[in-house]
Structure 1
Amino acid sequence: MHSQNQSLLAALYACVNACEHCATACLGEQDVKMMARCISLDRDCADICALTARFLARGSEHAQHLLRECAEICKACGDECEKHGTHMEHCKECAEACRRCEEACRAGISAA
């Protein structure tokens, strides 16, 4: 596996961790209902990042399709988390991880 894939895998797993942490922290917020979209996107993002990492690691011919979808969901999750990032540190950290992962996925698509 080349170093580009290793850095992409690192970004994907970092995003999984940030999204899982964010979703759990959002469930503990005062107004959980207000955080419903954030939690939903966190879960979607964590799942697509984990799946994409597995496809990349095994060298699947379908990894490119997942990279596109992953970049799109990372963008949506990052956008949502940014809305809450000024007053919730977990959302700020998640948005940053999503942005890095989106960028890494787009670079992975370009490199193919």
Structure 2
Amino acid sequence: MTYDECIQACLECMEACNHCYSACLQEQDVAMMAECIRLDRECADICGFAAQAMQRNSRFAKEICNVCAHVCQACGDECAKHEHDHCQRCAEICHHCANVCQDMAS
């Protein structure tokens, strides 16, 4: 596993979470989407931070990737509960990123 692969997964996940976040805000029952929206924001933020840490070759990159893996897993699990296409796509990308980050952290 190289930083490049993990950085790419994090950037793709950040983009998917930002899209899901925005799309969830347009749903009719926004209150029902609150946890999805919250986790989309947290996931996008940690993915961006993890990508930057790896780009800077931070000595904390593995620990940050470990936290990122946990947040991505939680976000993916939450998104998977919703039938919207944007949530299902986000769930798939989050789970992939969680796996890649976990491999990087190991």
**Normalised TM-score (structure 1):** 0.92
Displacement after TM superposition at 1:65 (Å): 1.4
Give the equivalent residue in structure 2 for 1:99.
95
Give the equivalent residue in structure 1 for 2:81.
83
Give the ranges of 4+ consecutive aligned residues of structure 1 lying more than 6 Å apart after TM superposition: none
* 1:17 alignment partner, SS class: helix
Q: CA-atom RMSD, angstroms?
A: 0.9
Matched, 1:49 2:47: yes
Structure 1: state its 5+ residue gaps: none
Displacement after TM superposition at 1:69 (Å): 0.6
Measure, in 1, the Cα distance between the counterparts of 2:78 and 2:46: 17
Give the equivalent residue in structure 2 for 1:59.
57
Structure 2: state its 5+ residue gaps: none
2:69 pairs with one of 68, 71, 81: 71
Displacement after TM superposition at 1:4 (Å): 1.6
**What is the aligned-residue identity percentage?**
47
Displacement after TM superposition at 1:29 (Å): 0.2
* 1:100 alignment partner, SS class: helix
Give the equivalent residue in structure 2 for 1:6.
4
Measure, in 2, the Cα distance between the counterparts of 1:106 and 1:37: 23
Displacement after TM superposition at 1:71 (Å): 0.4
Give the equivalent residue in structure 2 for 1:108.
104
1:45-73 residue CA offsets vs partner (Å, 9 max, x unmatched): 00000001000011000111111110000
Structure with bigger gyration radius? 1
Shifted more, 64-73 versus 25-34: the winner is 64-73
Displacement after TM superposition at 1:15 (Å): 0.2
Measure, in 2, the Cα distance between the counterparts of 1:75 and 1:101: 8
Measure, in 2, the Cα distance between the counterparts of 1:74 and 1:59: 21
Measure, in 1, the Cα distance between the counterparts of 2:21 and 2:77: 15
